[in-house]
Amino acid sequence: MVNTETIVAQIARIREAANALIEAELRGRSIEGIVPAHGPVLAFLFEQDRPVAIKQVVERARRAKSTVTVMIDTLERHGYLRKLACETDSRVTLVELTAAGRRLRKDFEEISRVLLAKLYGDMAQRQRQALVEGLDAIEKNMNR
C-alpha cells in the first residue's frame, strides 16, 4: 500500500531528480546561464512573436512577480532576452527573446522530450491523465 502521508516529500524528490536531469542536459549541450526554473518563462516567450509585458510572463509562469523579475534579469544578463520600454505606457516593461534566446528553442524542446520520457516511462495515458488531474486538484487546494 502506498503511503499517502509523504506526498510533499515525494514531490520534492521528483522535482530534485527532474532538475538534475535538466541540469545535466544543459551541461551536455554547453548551455550556460539557464536553470530549470527558467523553463516556464522561456516556454512562454518561445510562443510570442512580439515583445510582451513582464506582467504577462508573471501570469503565465504562475510565479511571484519578484521571482520572475529575477529570472528575467538573469536571462537578460546572459543575453537570452532584452527588456524594452513600452511606447504607450511608461509603467510597463516589455521583454522579448534575443537571437541567442530563440536559438535555445530546439534544445529546450529536446530536453523537454527527454524529461517527459523519463518522467512518465511506460505509464499508460490514462494513468498520466489521472495523475495530472490529481495534481491539479492538490494545487487548487493549496491555493485556496
- With 70 as the cut, is the pLDDT of residue 1 above it? no
Tell the residue number behind the cell numbers 518522467, with chain if given: 119
- With 70 as the cut, is the pLDDT of residue 21 above it? yes
Q: Give the separation between CA 135 and CA 120, rounded to whole angstroms.
A: 14
Q: Give the separation between CA 113 and CA 10, rounded to whole angstroms.
A: 22
Mean pLDDT score, 114-134: 96
Return the CA Rg of the chain: 17
What's the pTM? Answer: 0.86
Which amino acid makes up residue 44?
F
Confidence of residue 4 (pLDDT cuts 50, 70, 90): confident
Mean pLDDT score, 93-98: 95
What is the second-level CATH architecture of the domain 4-142? Orthogonal Bundle (1.10)
User: For the packed helices 65-77 and 54-61, what is the interaxial angle rounded to 10 degrees?
Assistant: 110
Residues comprising the chain, all counted: 144
96 forms bridges with which residues in the sheet? Answer: 82
Condensed to tens digits (0 to 9), the pLDDT of residues 33-89 reads 999 999 999 999 999 999 999 999 999 998 999 999 999 999 999 999 999 998 888
- With 70 as the cut, is the pLDDT of residue 97 above it? yes
Res 112: pLDDT? 96
